[in-house]
């Protein structure tokens, strides 16, 4: 097993929840509930842009600051957008890209996802690239084809060294916020396929180093089995990341791997 080559990452995705003034209290609770030693596991909290300052000003060494979106543009006339440089200035270390909710609600295309990945890497921020199939695609047995297409598109134009700095999150759309988790076998099958694709395109050295996460109704009860899979290196957690005790349980399971 090659898990020792890569970092376990447990990333919370708060989506559009909580307020900036609730950040400090949550982080204090989470710190108190997390294992004393994270054993190399990275804990990330991806909060709305309005909460980033509150989170980064806590200067926690154990909880990395994550954003949920970035502009594909560098600067200029893009009202309402936030650049990678602005995120960097707030000590943001990770940023979710291409979440299915943004692909749906904001019509984010593969081309935009790829531009955002480049913008982030350029500023030294780790993109957490989300890919996933719909229920219809799964039922029509198009899952692996669709995932391969999304991964290829998101990484297009990157060299191997840049790919090594990316994180990929497999999030089946039908499992997000539905309470319907992929089985450990289903999740591992896709994460393995992603790693195989990285191996054929960028080589074994790179594919061994890229962390691949699972997301979609992960919680304190189902996390251990999912995180124990050989190609699942962590989780992207929505609903359960809003409850400090539950999130800490997932962190503990990640540290145990």
Structure-token pair, residue 184: 């450990």
Closest residue by Cα to residue 106 from 17, 38, 172, 16: 16
Residues 110-169 that bind ligand PGA (CB under 6 A): none
Q: Could you give the CA distance from residue 233 to residue 226 in angstroms, rounded to a whole number?
A: 9
Active site residues: 99, 171
Candidate segments 56-64, 102-110, 140-148, 214-222, binder of ligand PGA by CB under 6 A: 214-222
Interface with ligand PGA includes 217 (CB under 6 A)? yes
Which of 66/216 has CB closer to ligand PGA?
216
Interface with ligand PGA includes 218 (CB under 6 A)? yes
Query: What sign does the dihedral 219-257-163-127 (CA atoms) show?
Result: positive
Among 40, 124, 157, 177, binds ligand PGA (CB under 6 A): 177
In the three-class reduction of DSSP (H, G, I as helix; E, B as strand; rest coil), residue 73 is classed as: coil
Shortest CB 44 distance to ligand PGA, Å = 12
Contacts of residue 113, Cβ cutoff 8 Å, sequence gap at least 6: 97, 98, 103, 129, 153, 154
Candidate segments 66-74, 75-83, 145-153, 237-245, binder of ligand PGA by CB under 6 A: 237-245
Which residues does residue 97 pair with via DSSP β-bridges, in sequence order?
129
Which of 11/84 has CB closer to ligand PGA?
11
Which of 87/240 has CB closer to ligand PGA?
240
Site pattern 13..32 for ligand PGA (x: CB under 6 A): x-------------------
Provide the total of helices (H) and of strands (E) in the chain, helices listed first.
Answer: 12, 8
Shortest CB 218 distance to ligand PGA, Å = 6
Geometric angle at alpha carbon 13, from 7 and 14, rounded to 5°: 150
Interface positions with ligand PGA (CB under 6 A): 13, 171, 176-177, 215-218, 236-240
């Amino acid at each position: 097993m090659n898990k020792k080559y890569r970092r376990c990452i447990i990333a919370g995705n708060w989506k559009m929840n909580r307020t900036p003034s609730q950040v400090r209290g949550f982080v204090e609770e989470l710190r108190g509930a997390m294992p004393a030693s994270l054993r190399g596991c990275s804990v990330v909290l991806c909060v709305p842009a309005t909460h980033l300052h509150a989170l980064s000003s806590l200067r926690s060494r154990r909880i990395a600051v994550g954003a949920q979106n970035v502009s594909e543009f560098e600067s200029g006339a893009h009202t309402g957008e936030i650049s990678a440089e602005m995120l960097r200035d707030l000590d943001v270390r990770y940023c979710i890209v291409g979440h299915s909710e943004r692909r749906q609600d904001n019509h984010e295309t593969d081309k935009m996802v790829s531009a955002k990945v480049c913008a982030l890497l350029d500023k030294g921020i780790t993109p957490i690239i989300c890919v996933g199939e719909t229920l219809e695609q799964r039922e029509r047995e198009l899952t692996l084809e669709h995932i391969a297409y999304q991964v290829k598109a998101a990484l297009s134009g990157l060299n191997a060294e840049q790919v090594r700095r990316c994180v990929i999150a497999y999030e089946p759309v039908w499992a997000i916020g539905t309470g319907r988790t992929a089985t450990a076998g289903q999740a591992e099958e896709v994460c393995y396929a992603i790693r195989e694709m990285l191996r054929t395109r960028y080589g074994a050295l790179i594919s061994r180093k890229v962390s691949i996460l699972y997301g979609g109704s992960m919680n304190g009860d189902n996390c251990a089995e999912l995180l124990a899979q050989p190609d699942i290196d962590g989780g992207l957690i929505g609903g359960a990341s809003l409850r400090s005790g539950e999130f800490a349980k997932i962190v503990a399971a990640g540290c145990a791997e």
